[in-house]
Chains A and B, each alone.
Chain A
Amino acid sequence: MQETHVGRPPHSQDFEIELGRLFSEFPDFSPENEVLERIDYIDITYDIVMDNEDAEAPPLGTNESIEDLTTFPPGRKAGKATSASPFIQQRQPSYNLFSPFQNTLDFKLARFFYAAQVPKARIDEFFTAGFVEQGTDVAGGPRFSFHSLYGLYKKLDAMIIDPVWNNRFVDFRLAKKTEFWYRDILEVLKYLLRLKFFALHMFWAPVRHFDTQKGRVYKEMNTGSWWWDTQVEILSHISDAGDLY
């Protein structure tokens, strides 16, 4: 009787019985294993066993993120924050989130001009035509911190502080006083690290990715062996790392 059930559609009740028979006869059998044996490739985008689920940088401004940051990767303590984020701390009253713009409205207007790609002449026209009152806002200060295209561009330039260029001279035996230009390398590193744009695309800790057959999967730079070997102190964390490492 059992032979007749083979090949029935999977939703039928007989299939459940058939599946139960298979489970009892072959303890290792499970529907997932069956699927894996049939296909001869593994889609690594779905089957990656993430060694560290919290590898992605936490979203800005959320209160839960700090716990992930201080302890990540779990048990290995890399990328530890030495001071908490001001998003979580009680912020100083003088802290201006919209610096160099003075308030939300000021920032929103600048962002509108930039994102809508308003022509340069029209930006000047906006202020000279009297669409906005040049008077004071509720608190008594000026309504906008810029009143012309020039003022807007000055503010936009102030948003990014590029590392400065220095110049010096070097003497070749046959070409004295050859000029060269350079930037302080630490300033450039600080610049790269503080760019808000990259905040969601950065890694602070090494991770190891494995596919379903426990083979290493290499993707980004922090999934490689070099980062792991340089950062992770294997001996001090072998207890909580388990047999995976």
Chain B
Amino acid sequence: MTLPVGETLVPMLFASDATYLTNFSGDGKVWPLYMSIGNIKSSVRNRPTFYAWVSVALLPSSPKTIKKVPGWLEEKQEQEAIQVHHDLLRFLLRPLSSAAQNGLKIKCADEVTREYYFRVAGWLADHLENSILHGIYATRCLICESPQDKLGCLQEYPLRNAQQYQSWIDDSDKESLHNKGVKLVQNALWSLQDTVPHQLIRSDILHTMLLGNLQHLMDWITGFLKYHNRLPAFDDVWSSLPRYPGIHVPHKSYRLLSQLSGKEMRSILMVILGVFTVVLRRKTGT
């Protein structure tokens, strides 16, 4: 599991998301795959103008599923699409297998040659993308084997076991796979050196926090204020926020905002508690 003494670890980070290009002129949908390395300081890596994320592949998206193809059901078409995607990923990751085992001598930026060992350390993607990558139904947990109706329970379930699933797939034991919510796909991530597939999943702040919890919180707050006739006061306070470095001050009242960018949502998270407190302290009618 550990590396030979003196060698250097290069954690590889991937990011992918299916992207629509056009809706009408053909199936304009591609699957860009980006890569960076964990050796770079995070503040440098995450700045778009430093180009630390390099595009590795533009994979084809699956063709649209077509109804009424004789002997070729829609479910099968979907399964084939995922299988092709995994075959392509295996094709892309193939050069890693020998480099991860034996190391690779590369001359580095500081003019020093080191022996590098590459490990896949993270794969940034949203839930739907992860469910395709890990070959697990989107309605199930990707990390543990919790049943579908027990999601959100405090009870602990065993973690996903790729080796077990691989043996079931080799035996084509469809019933066991279905019980655990695993698709019948030869998974590319399962054959990676020293990698536990479910540990690659990283938190998706945009969808869980900003689009999920923040949206829920704002609905709750506006509903509460409306019930207590304090919505106009909320709009007043909201539109009179002073300028502050690092915070995107909204020009409109909250109710007039229709679509929020990620930056605006992060600014809302910073000021919402203060705004809410001020609104509650105001006397009604003023």
| Chain B residues, Cβ within 8 Å of A192 | 35-37, 40, 52, 54
A201 and B40 in contact, given A82-B115, A172-B63, A231-B9 (Cβ under 8 angstroms): yes
| Chain B residues, Cβ within 8 Å of A82 | 105, 113-115
Closest beta carbon of chain B to A160's beta carbon, Å:
10
Count of interface residues, chain B, beta-carbon cutoff 8 Å? 63
A202 CB within 8 Å of chain B: yes
A221 and B42 in contact, given A78-B9, A82-B113, A86-B111 (Cβ under 8 angstroms): yes
| Chain A residues, Cβ within 8 Å of B44 | 198, 201
A41 CB within 8 Å of chain B: no
Whether A77 and B56, one on each chain, are in contact in the complex, defined by CB atoms closer than 8 angstroms, is no
Our pick among B37, B72, B81, B112 for the contact of A189 (Cβ within 8 Å) is B37
A185 and B95 in contact, given A193-B109, A220-B42 (Cβ under 8 angstroms): yes
Which listed segment binds B: A4-12, A102-110, A149-157, A175-183? Answer: A175-183
A188 and B35 in contact, given A78-B6, A193-B10, A193-B108 (Cβ under 8 angstroms): yes
Our pick among B63, B106, B121 for the contact of A190 (Cβ within 8 Å) is B106
Whether B11 and A227, one on each chain, are in contact in the complex, defined by CB atoms closer than 8 angstroms, is yes
B8 CB within 8 Å of chain A: yes
Our pick among A87, A183, A198, A220 for the contact of B57 (Cβ within 8 Å) is A183
Please measure, in the bound complex, the distance between the C-alpha atom of A186 and the C-alpha atom of B58, giving whole angstroms: 17
A85 and B112 in contact, given A202-B39, A202-B40 (Cβ under 8 angstroms): yes
Our pick among A83, A172, A226, A231 for the contact of B113 (Cβ within 8 Å) is A83
A178 and B105 in contact, given A80-B7, A189-B118, A221-B42 (Cβ under 8 angstroms): no
Whether B57 and A182, one on each chain, are in contact in the complex, defined by CB atoms closer than 8 angstroms, is yes
Size bracket, chain A contacts:
35 or more
Q: Is the interface of B mostly helix, strand, loop or mixed?
A: mixed
**Closest partner residue, chain A, to B40 (CB atom):** A198
Our pick among B5, B62, B119 for the contact of A236 (Cβ within 8 Å) is B5
Interface residues of B in 14-73 (CB under 8 A from A): 35-42, 44, 50, 52, 54-60, 62-63, 66, 69, 72
Q: How does the 8 Å CB contact mask read for A5-24 relative to B, with 1 for contact and 0 for none?
A: 00000000000000000000
Whether B2 and A232, one on each chain, are in contact in the complex, defined by CB atoms closer than 8 angstroms, is yes
**Closest partner residue, chain A, to B87 (CB atom):** A170
Please measure, in the bound complex, the distance between the C-alpha atom of A220 and the C-alpha atom of B121, giving whole angstroms: 14
A173 and B109 in contact, given A78-B9, A180-B59 (Cβ under 8 angstroms): no
Count A-B pairs with CB separation below 8 Å. Answer: 171
Closest beta carbon of chain B to A162's beta carbon, Å:
9
A233 and B5 in contact, given A172-B81, A173-B80, A190-B106 (Cβ under 8 angstroms): yes
Closest beta carbon of chain A to B93's beta carbon, Å:
7
| Chain B residues, Cβ within 8 Å of A77 | 5-6
**Closest partner residue, chain B, to A167 (CB atom):** B58
Interface residues of B in 74-113 (CB under 8 A from A): 77, 80-81, 84, 87-88, 91-93, 95-96, 99, 104-113
B154 CB within 8 Å of chain A: no
B12 CB within 8 Å of chain A: yes
B236 CB within 8 Å of chain A: no
| Chain B residues, Cβ within 8 Å of A85 | 110-112
Closest beta carbon of chain B to A183's beta carbon, Å:
5
Whether A185 and B113, one on each chain, are in contact in the complex, defined by CB atoms closer than 8 angstroms, is no
Please measure, in the bound complex, the distance between the C-alpha atom of A228 and the C-alpha atom of B39, giving whole angstroms: 13
Please measure, in the bound complex, the distance between the C-alpha atom of A85 and the C-alpha atom of B55, giving whole angstroms: 30
Please measure, in the bound complex, the distance between the C-alpha atom of A205 and the C-alpha atom of B38, giving whole angstroms: 11
Whether A80 and B35, one on each chain, are in contact in the complex, defined by CB atoms closer than 8 angstroms, is no
A222 CB within 8 Å of chain B: yes
| Chain B residues, Cβ within 8 Å of A159 | none
A203 CB within 8 Å of chain B: yes
Contacts A85-B110, A191-B54, A230-B3 known; list 15 others, CB within 8 Å.
A58-B110, A78-B7, A81-B113, A83-B112, A186-B95, A189-B106, A190-B106, A202-B40, A202-B109, A202-B110, A221-B11, A221-B39, A226-B121, A230-B1, A230-B9
Could you name 19 residue pairs across A and B whose Cβ atoms are closer than 8 Å?
Answer: A77-B5, A79-B8, A80-B6, A85-B110, A172-B62, A172-B84, A174-B72, A178-B63, A182-B56, A182-B59, A183-B54, A183-B55, A189-B10, A192-B52, A193-B108, A195-B109, A202-B110, A221-B38, A221-B121
Q: Which 5 A-B pairs have the closest CB atoms?
A: A199-B109, A80-B6, A175-B63, A182-B57, A221-B38
- Residues of B near any A CB (own CB < 8 A): 1-3, 5-12, 35-42, 44, 50, 52, 54-60, 62-63, 66, 69, 72, 77, 80-81, 84, 87-88, 91-93, 95-96, 99, 104-116, 118-119, 121, 194
- Residues of A near any B CB (own CB < 8 A): 57-58, 60, 69, 77-87, 163, 170, 172-175, 178-186, 188-199, 201-206, 220-222, 226-227, 229-233, 236
